[in-house]
Structure 1
Amino acid sequence: MTVERYFKDRGPELKIFRRMVSGEEPRRILDICADPGTGKSWLLRRMVQESGQAGFPCALADFAPAWQPGPIKLMRELAERLGEECFSDFCTQDALYHSMAPPPRPDSEPPGRVDLSDSDFRGAQVRDIAGRDLYDIDLHQHRPPTAAEAERIEHQLSAAFVRELRALAAKGPTVLLLDGCEHIPVETADWLSRRLLYLMRDTPGTWWRLVVVLAGRPSGPRPAFQPWADWRGIVCALDRLSDFEEQHVRDFFQQCGLYLEAAEFAFVYRVCKARPLNMASIVEELLGGRR
């Protein structure tokens, strides 16, 4: 099922999003904290679709038990989806840190290409080259970076990423969508708060048209906007999504080729109006019974 064909309703939430993107709504962060099965992921994918149709940069990162990136990997993912050409400094530094050629191998070691794309800098040695600290990868030393070295790497990459993200948002609407925030790793949630959300709160006039949408269940280490008085002017918080209207549920079933009697539909609507996951499951069951 495609979002474009089957997406229904959620007008109130999309209205908030559209007002944020257009600049009519001064708040820059939309925090959706709702129960599972209520359509958070479906809504964010509709936001991706609308952003694409309008032609402005949008990146969706979907945290899950199988995908829990650290801060640097998340920045890399967002930069790639927003357009690496807009993050040239970040990408250059990231490439230097992750893709420097290893030293020659001993004769006793079989040749072969080493993939450093997910390197966590084990065995990194710091060298000062042209006034900039670079990390020379030494695969034979097997020394993890010190805490200070790891912090310096993250700080340099974060500074470049945030600077270029701010510049991109100065040109026009830019959207970051973070789904499954209940699965976000603790260190990544901390990075997101310290390096981005706090900056957006403390320097609101410099972020122009950047919109950040966080969606997830009310659990896990997701960023918390406390005390609320400090965030009221920049965060729009939703603790539930609006119910589907009766006609939208009926339209969904009819688009799927299902026409229910009035009594059947009344029961289905009570079950589905707040949980679109139920709506999709019922359609699947009913269509399966016809085969």
Structure 2
Amino acid sequence: EGEFDVTLYPIYPAQSKYIPSRLINFLKHEYNQEILKGITLPYLKQMTNKEFINFWFKDKDDDDEEEEEKELDSNGMPDSYLNHIKWESQCLGIFNIVPCYEGRSSHICTASFLVNEGIRNKLVGSFLMEKFLYWAPKLGYAMVQFPLIYDTNIAIIKILDKFHFQILGKLPNSGVLLGYSEPVSTTTDGQVDDVDSNGEIIRFKLLQRFMLTNKYPFPNMSRADKARLRALRYRYQLDGEGRLYLKGREVISNIFEQKNIVREVHNLKHWQVNKMNRVICKDYYWPSLRKTILKVFSECKICNDSHR
């Protein structure tokens, strides 16, 4: 109980040969158990070993196997070296990062998450999501989308809400799940504003850096991105301390600070949504400000009790 140390092992390239066979078997068993529940994943049947590996990893073609085996023998560890580990107590979970679409939309990524069922309710899922949001931009992805979230998947819904994902769409009666007489709905969730692991909206931080240094944040930026920064420079201003402003209102680029500001204002007199919006808009600006207000208002126990 309480805090414990966690080590994250990136597997790159994402090939199954770099994972001990007993660990793969353990993860496959955990994933198949989730499939059998029939309320969070779309699959009807449990996965075979090959199906599981093809889903979670990106193994190379057979033509490359011989050369890769030699490389692994010289640089890697024998499979038996790690197979004595009791993975059910040592492996907290796994996630992968893959393109959500191909071609012209391959800058949008998605992920699959699996948490060890014996170590749940200890914020492991939130830790994995935090690391996913940290690594995705480093791999070149610009947006995140989860296209199929069942209303019954309460755990991932809470995590997406915690990290300020937005519901981009809802598809009613789209999931025929075990134990439900009627089909349930699914949602498509995404982060419209790219947010880093510290909760900073990336486009505002890049603009702020550009205006402070008069240099582009990255040397390999596209011409379109450079033009966008130059255009935004004339809409926004910096004060003497380097804070970003839009038409006299301070730009709050951190999503956690945004919520704290709304909470502080709301706790003063428990104003309604429209009143809070008018008060906060006088001094602050951020995208989807009204949605943040609605979120805080819905979480207020005093306001909810008074409307019953």
Give the TM bin, normalised by the shorter chain. Answer: under 0.3
Relative to the length of structure 2, the TM-score reads 0.25
TM-score w.r.t. length of structure 1: 0.26
